[in-house]
Amino acid sequence: MNACETLLLEPHNGVLHITLNRPQNRNAMSLQMVSELRTVLADVARDEHVRALVISGAGGHFCAGGDVKDMSRAGSREGLRDLNRVFGALLQEVEALPQVVIVVLQGAVLGGGFGLACVSDIAIADHQAQFGLPETSLGVLPAQIAPFVVRRIGLTQARRLALTAARFDGIEAQRLGVVHFVEHDPQGLAQRLDEVLGQVLRCAPRANARTKALLLQSLDQPLELLLDQAADWFAEAVTGEEGIEGTRAFVEKRKARWVI
């Protein structure tokens, strides 16, 4: 992968650890960071050897939102529109990745950082992490983030959070359904991450990718078409390498050995 200035990349045993690395700005999303992330994601989407992504932030914060300096440099209304829309494209690409996306959330999880959490498959948070959509308190809109928040926690709660710019901690984020696990110290976060990765890596990679696509399509595809497609994918899986290996491993009472 190409070298990045705003990201730290660490591949390890089929898992790519991505650290947002602008700690002096609480890892605020600059246009450069968005561009580098999109380039990395495009590479990862084509790499069958990567089973999962873990996204975290340097310096005790996940991401404090968009970089205001980029907005001031955008100039025209068209420039601001394009700047805003490119972040929405990033969220779409994270959500659509065939790999499992795990986020580890500490410190600020605001605006764009909150949006990034909402497109993850599994979210692990520190109990004192600070979540929120501060945009309306700054006179702007959570424009690209809002649809993903609605899909994550529902319209009623999304309206409350967006229209009050309320801050809330990891415990409340779990209650709302933003995150799945809340831990109380760095050791707890690391242990939970290891546990979740162990679970993910026990699953067949292509079966996971198809299952993720099926779940996402269930949001907007007509049920009849969705079930027809699901049946096709199921038959393909059962007769494919993973289905055969998984069945054989079950009968032989051993762990499945997935080919990647």
Beta sheet of 167-168, edge-to-edge order: 108-110, 130-132, 167-168
What local confidence, expressed as pLDDT, does residue 2 receive?
62
Same domain for 135 and 208?
Answer: no
Same domain for 133 and 240?
Answer: no
Question: What residues make up the domain containing 240?
Answer: 204-251
CB contact at 8 A, 193 and 179: no
pTM attached to this predicted model: 0.95
Beta strands in 91-237 (DSSP E): 100-105, 108-110, 122-126, 130-132, 167-168, 181-183
Same domain for 111 and 75?
Answer: yes
What local confidence, expressed as pLDDT, does residue 160 receive?
98
152 has pLDDT over 90: yes
Q: Is residue 258 part of a domain?
A: no
Closest alpha carbon to 64 in 1, 18, 116:
116
Residue type (1 letter), 48: E
Pairing of strands 122-126, 100-105: parallel
CA distance linking residue 34 with residue 243, whole number of Å: 37
Closest alpha carbon to 135 in 115, 151, 111, 153:
111
Same domain for 13 and 136?
Answer: yes
Same domain for 188 and 208?
Answer: no
133 Rama sector, left if φ>0, alpha if ψ -120 to 50, beta otherwise: beta
100-148: per-residue pLDDT in tens?
A: 999 999 999 999 999 999 999 999 999 999 999 999 999 999 999 999 9
Calculate the alpha carbon distances from 21 to 31, 51, 129, 194, 217 in Å.
13, 22, 18, 22, 33
Q: Is residue 260 part of a domain?
A: no
188-202: per-residue pLDDT in tens?
A: 999 999 999 999 999
CB contact at 8 A, 181 and 73: no
DSSP secondary structure letter of residue 66: B
Q: Is residue 1 part of a domain?
A: no
Three-state DSSP at 165 gives coil
